[in-house]
Amino acid sequence: MVRRTGGGTKLVFQNEYAGSLSLYSILRGADYAADGLVDFFSIPGVQIGGVAGLVVTLSLLVIRGFLIPRTTYKELKLASDEAIKRLTDENRDWKNAWLLEQQSRVLRDRQFDTLIEISKTTQELVRANQRGVA
């Protein structure tokens, strides 16, 4: 529901429990008193508490490491990029070593097959010689 007032137009929500509530008062953190609306942030204790709460929150964020200066962030990002590059190079080296090992294994298997064939031929010659055929 839109209500026109002397200062302009306000968007108002109707609530059966709380009466009418303006969008501005919702965004400002309004609270209800017995007669009507009281602006919560106009209370001096709340203003001081709000600033203190903000300072404490920001201090905790800095202490816990969630907020860091831009120069520290740039240094951390540079170190992280260097570590990623180093690990990528190491990964590539290991992959090349693995590929070389696979090629060596294939070559070894071929040589082993050749040696088996030669040993079978030699064994047949020895058996034939023992039987006196050769």
Residues 99-113 pLDDT 10s: 999 999 999 999 999
pLDDT value at residue 92: 97
**What pTM was estimated for this model as a whole?**
0.42
Phi, psi (deg, nearest 5) at residue 7: -90, -10
DSSP 8-class letter at 7: T
Q: What count of other Cβ atoms lies within 10 Å of the Cβ of residue 72?
A: 10
**10 beta partners:** 3
pLDDT digit string, tens, across residues 11-54:
444 444 444 455 555 555 544 444 344 555 566 666 667 778 88
